[in-house]
Chains A and B, each alone.
Chain A
């Protein structure tokens, strides 16, 4: 045997425990902010992607292909090391005075995830039978109003399970933010390892936290499926 001594007390109390807790906090904060923003951006891109106007559609397709087909890590580095060259000066100043690392991570995660979300929303909209649009138009709804009151509410309900799985991915992907120095969970586990050489314990703890977050989200989706989608025959 290698003679490694397990010592779980390092991470269950004291300073190192609190490092991990602050890591969990940042992971959750980073994920939540990016989830909300990526949903809004994804909805916008999905609508652009389905627009009758050619240039709108092409812009959306370019966006989707570009951000879905390049590695997230490269995108994170791009926004962290490269964004000051393309962002206006006042925005850079503002970012530097605040948490530039955190902001870069939010931007990268938001844009990357929004591309996947946009495609999920689009397939949600396309899965609504065209007769729903016909029924709405027959009642005197304009195209936009029919979308607003009849098509989108159904599409969003159907899209929620795949959306949640994108949110899950996003939460896990947020660990990449450690590479630009965001003190989230993986970063803190790494710190604990550096200070104590108890890498196994530290990363086990981090793994468990990610697992718990994922399981909680998965259970929520299952309940949603059973309680909300099933009774109204939308599964």
Chain B
């Protein structure tokens, strides 16, 4: 479904992605973790070309992102992206946030789009917030609406870029629950997160990055029981018991 081969990217002289080889199969849930500045956000942002790559091959859903013939706008419509800061459209109600793209891009009728949006709002537990504006919602609620907005395009892949990092602790669970539900539907998920509980319980595989490189890839139980790389050990120690 997603295949990186020898991918490099630089920001100026900074080598943010260094020879990445990485594959995600259909229906898999893969967690990408690593210290800040490790390149994990850049990695996930290259998958829908929010960040272009400079070297190597990146194929998503059978389409080569470096090929000028690839219609990237069209491909993006099939990839859901959830941001750390939610990025809901502040001038639109919850319902309109979700129906905008289906109506304008998929050409759904307003009625069909609204029915579908209400079903999604039910699923994320926010049906009663259909007419609220983003500023009237809590962070956790906004993020759940953002997930519903992404799902409304019926994506084949969902990308999550630190979806709970901007949330107060008591709101993290509600968002993770929704994501867990998605993983069980067989959708392909790539999740950049520090939520090790989610990684352990839900993911099929954990990818550990640092210095722009993938240092370790393992099944969750293996990764937590016996991380091989020195940096991965330190990282786990930091994140699981920050006070030591």
Chain B 72-96 interface mask (CB, 8 Å, partner A; 1/0): 0110111111010101111100000
B153→A135 contact, CB < 8 A: no
A131→B104 contact, CB < 8 A: no
Is B135 in contact with chain A by the CB < 8 A criterion? Answer: yes
Of A54-62, A113-121, A190-198, A226-234, the one contacting chain B is A226-234
Chain A 133-170 interface mask (CB, 8 Å, partner B; 1/0): 01111111110010001100110010000000000000
- Taking CB atoms, residues of chain A closer than 8 Å to B74 are 140
In this complex, how many residues of chain B approach chain A with their Cβ under 8 Å: the count is 28
Nearest CB to that of A135 among chain B residues? B87
Is B14 in contact with chain A by the CB < 8 A criterion? Answer: no
Nearest CB to that of A143 among chain B residues? B73
B91→A153 contact, CB < 8 A: yes
Is B243 in contact with chain A by the CB < 8 A criterion? Answer: no
- Taking CB atoms, residues of chain A closer than 8 Å to B85 are 131
Is A51 in contact with chain B by the CB < 8 A criterion? Answer: no
| Bound Cα distance A154, B133 (Å) | 13
Residue in B83, B91, B100, B135 whose CB lies within 8 Å of A134: B83
Is A132 in contact with chain B by the CB < 8 A criterion? Answer: yes
Is B29 in contact with chain A by the CB < 8 A criterion? Answer: no
Nearest CB to that of B103 among chain A residues? A149
B89→A132 contact, CB < 8 A: yes
Residue in B50, B133, B150 whose CB lies within 8 Å of A231: B133
Is B101 in contact with chain A by the CB < 8 A criterion? Answer: yes
A157→B91 contact, CB < 8 A: yes
Residue in A134, A135, A142, A149 whose CB lies within 8 Å of B73: A142
| Bound Cα distance A145, B77 (Å) | 13
B153→A140 contact, CB < 8 A: yes
Query: A201-235: which residues lie under 8 A (CB-CB) from chain B?
Result: 231-234
B91→A232 contact, CB < 8 A: yes
A137→B76 contact, CB < 8 A: yes
Is B39 in contact with chain A by the CB < 8 A criterion? Answer: no
| Bound Cα distance A140, B79 (Å) | 9
Q: Chain B interface (Cβ within 8 Å of chain A)?
A: 48, 50, 73-74, 76-81, 83, 85, 87-91, 100-101, 104-105, 133-136, 149-150, 153
- 7 additional A-B residue pairs with CB within 8 Å, beyond A134-B83, A135-B89: A139-B100, A141-B73, A141-B104, A154-B89, A154-B91, A231-B135, A233-B135
A-B contact pairs, 12 of them (CB 8 A): A134-B50, A134-B83, A134-B87, A135-B81, A135-B83, A135-B89, A137-B73, A137-B76, A139-B76, A139-B150, A153-B91, A232-B135
